[in-house]
Amino acid sequence: MSSPTVGDHLVARLGLWGARRFYGYPGDGIGGVISAVGRAVQAGDAEFVQVRHEEAAGFAATADVKYGGSPLGVCAVTSGPGAVHVLNGLYDAKLDHIPVVALLGQSATSALGTSYYQELDLVRLFGDVAGEYVLQVTDPSQVQHAVDRAARIALERRTVTALVLPSDVQDLDAVLEVPDAHGYTHTSAVPGSLPGIPRPEALQQAADLLNSGRKVAILAGAGALGATAELTAVADALGAGVAKALLGKAVLDDRLDWVTGSIGLLGTRPSYDLMRECDTLLMIGTTMPYTEYYPAPGQARAVQVDVDGTRCGLRYATEVNLVGDARLTLEALLPLLHADPDPSWRERIARWNTAWRAWGEERTNAAAMPLNPELVVRGLSERLTDDAMIAVDCGTATSWYARDLDLRPGMLASLSGTLLSMGGGMPYALAAKQAHPDRPVLAIVGDGAMQMNGINELITVAQRWRTWSDPRFVVVVLNNRDLSFVAWEARAMQGEVPFDAAMDVPDLPYGSYAQLLGLGGRRLEGPGEVAEALDEAFAARRPTVLDAVVDPNVPMIPPHVSLQQVLGTAKSQLRGDPAAKDIVVEGARETIGAAARAVVRHVKGD
């Protein structure tokens, strides 16, 4: 066998870090690495997932880690356009604190600096997204330390790192043994120990504060995932209610009466009330950005748990910050908790939940033309098995997911949580399947996002599904022919009439498109069809796309509708929003319409 190349060395060294699944797209700029991945695939040491667009490679590498597949995500893309395309997916990783190494092709060293074709200054371009570590590799003896540094920094700082690889360097002979000489460095591919437990004094201080609370609220985020049992025990010991940030939704069962579900603009009213009424706040693995959904400043005494001390005290003024792993920290905190919770606190929380669920039923059953999206999403809750994986795109789908989909421990669910990028849903679902081919996946995606990249990644699904031991891959397209989320933002936040040419999405028969690809597909146009179609899709022996024709005029009502937002809606109605006549109808939809009309009357002085 010919001697290993720089590309082979790179792939093998990444393998030592557990990074063996490469999401990517070839091009001559990354040719030597792609060939090396190919040789590793042949040897059974690696896997290559070709996506339809490099952005999806970035999203999928991120999601693979989020769904518990690889410890370290990796994507490989070519120079120039490939590198530019992957950026958005990498920003998703950076903002959600997911370790990903990007392998970027580059023009040959002999051409660099000559404005060569596809030559971009990638070290500079990636200086932000991979600001913690971006290195152009020009000598084979760098490979060992370049990979070790890129992997270690990505893992330790939970961020993105990048290696820029000139094409000629990728094919040079590898230097597997770094010389024992001046100017060389010998690095290790052994990962660091995981984050540990805070100091005992800090734990005691936190316990004293929490023990003195009478109405304790817990806010759990992505950092709490994997700590379900410990979180439950701590919440019980404190008699606390728990609200969940979007990325932490899978940590606790949505149906528990002391769990108030999602929080924030897309969250529930009980989560808002929990925060506004508590006297003590325990934040675990979250920096949920919507500060108006925290307790009022000064209202609650607060403790925060986070693996990264720099994120403590970021959204709410804390008294004690516990820097450590969430599960270990909660476990260590538990024996110190001797609270005397007021039982009426959890009883109140349960009453809030009962009222919220009743209103949810009402919203779900409200008539809509032709389908109410909340009816579709609630139907999904009942059909998900305990091992289901869920991926959601950005749009009204995020809102219905946050409020209407009941998750249970054991399920895996994620989305582009901080970047909130459209186009994450399908690559996330694909990566979930690559990570766990034996589990079913559900993707909920808007029609805008589907047309942005979803229909393309459906081709990847068609290409790969026969390699999955469980072929179930259910895509629910919320086809409202509208960029509904932003249309509602325009109405509620700016008081603007949405601008049709900007908001309209062309209708497309997503189910028929799926059939063209050899997948299952069906269009849903009436409430009577929903249950049967969902049952069929979850029982199918191949991926299925359900094209749910839903009403764009079902409003996303914030959990507490502020006067300002209502005024915004009222103003847009006054200015003749063509949707206004449809918005103001029966059931739940009347809530915002009626409030808006009340303000309109007030403004007009009736």
- Reduced to 3 states, what is the DSSP secondary structure of residue 319? coil
- Reduced to 3 states, what is the DSSP secondary structure of residue 314? coil
**Piece in contact with ligand TPP (CB under 6 A), picked from 61-69, 97-105, 266-274, 414-422:** 414-422
Residue 310: its H or E element: none
**For ligand TPP, which residue of 108, 202, 420, 600 counts as binding (CB under 6 A)?**
420
Query: Distance between CA 475 and CA 374 in Å, rounded?
Result: 16
Query: Distance between CA 65 and CA 340 in Å, rounded?
Result: 40
Residue nearest Mg ion, CB atom distance: 446
| Near ligand TPP in 373-402, by CB under 6 A | 394-397
Which of Mg ion, ligand TPP, none does residue 353 bind to, with CB < 5 to 8 Å depending on kind?
Answer: none
* Alpha-carbon dihedral sign for residues 502, 508, 513, 519: positive
Which of ligand TPP, Mg ion, none does residue 389 bind to, with CB < 5 to 8 Å depending on kind?
Answer: none
Which of Mg ion, ligand TPP, none does residue 422 bind to, with CB < 5 to 8 Å depending on kind?
Answer: ligand TPP
DSSP 504-563: B-----HHHHHHHTTSEEEEE-SHHHHHHHHHHHHH-SS-EEEEEEB-TTS----SS--H
CA distances from 170 to 7, 41, 112 (A): 5, 17, 15
How far apart are CB 450 and ligand TPP at their closest, in Å? Answer: 7
User: In terms of CB distance, is 431 or 442 closer to Mg ion?
Assistant: 442
Which of Mg ion, ligand TPP, none does residue 449 bind to, with CB < 5 to 8 Å depending on kind?
Answer: ligand TPP
| Near ligand TPP in 422-481, by CB under 6 A | 422-423, 446-449, 478, 480
Which of Mg ion, ligand TPP, none does residue 55 bind to, with CB < 5 to 8 Å depending on kind?
Answer: none
How far apart are CB 51 and ligand TPP at their closest, in Å? Answer: 16
Q: From the CA atom positions of the chain, what is the Rg in Å?
A: 25
Query: Distance between CA 306 and CA 252 in Å, rounded?
Result: 18
Which of Mg ion, ligand TPP, none does residue 475 bind to, with CB < 5 to 8 Å depending on kind?
Answer: none
Residue pair 257/284 in contact by the 8 Å Cβ criterion: no
- Residue from 405, 251, 214, 421 nearest 326 by CA: 251
User: In terms of CB distance, is 232 or 480 closer to ligand TPP?
Assistant: 480
How far apart are CB 244 and ligand TPP at their closest, in Å? Answer: 21
| Near ligand TPP in 496-535, by CB under 6 A | 505
The torsion defined by the Cα of 116, 118, 120 and 122, in degrees rounded to 10, comes to -130
How far apart are CB 420 and ligand TPP at their closest, in Å? Answer: 5
Residue pair 253/220 in contact by the 8 Å Cβ criterion: no
Residue nearest ligand TPP, CB atom distance: 446
User: In terms of CB distance, is 552 or 593 closer to ligand TPP?
Assistant: 552
How far apart are CB 283 and Mg ion at their closest, in Å? Answer: 33
CA 211 to chain centre: 33
User: In terms of CB distance, is 332 or 452 closer to Mg ion?
Assistant: 452
Residue pair 24/51 in contact by the 8 Å Cβ criterion: yes
Which of Mg ion, ligand TPP, none does residue 233 bind to, with CB < 5 to 8 Å depending on kind?
Answer: none
Which of ligand TPP, Mg ion, none does residue 95 bind to, with CB < 5 to 8 Å depending on kind?
Answer: none
* Alpha-carbon dihedral sign for residues 349, 555, 457, 7: negative
Contact string (CB under 6 A) for ligand TPP, positions 479-498, x = contact? -x-xxxxx------------
Contacting positions for Mg ion (CB under 5 A): 446-448, 480, 482, 484
User: In terms of CB distance, is 144 or 484 closer to Mg ion?
Assistant: 484
Q: How many residues bind ligand TPP (CB under 6 A)?
A: 20
CA distances from 571 to 125, 326, 419 (A): 43, 46, 30
Positions that interact with ligand TPP (CB under 6 A): 394-397, 420-423, 446-449, 478, 480, 482-486, 505
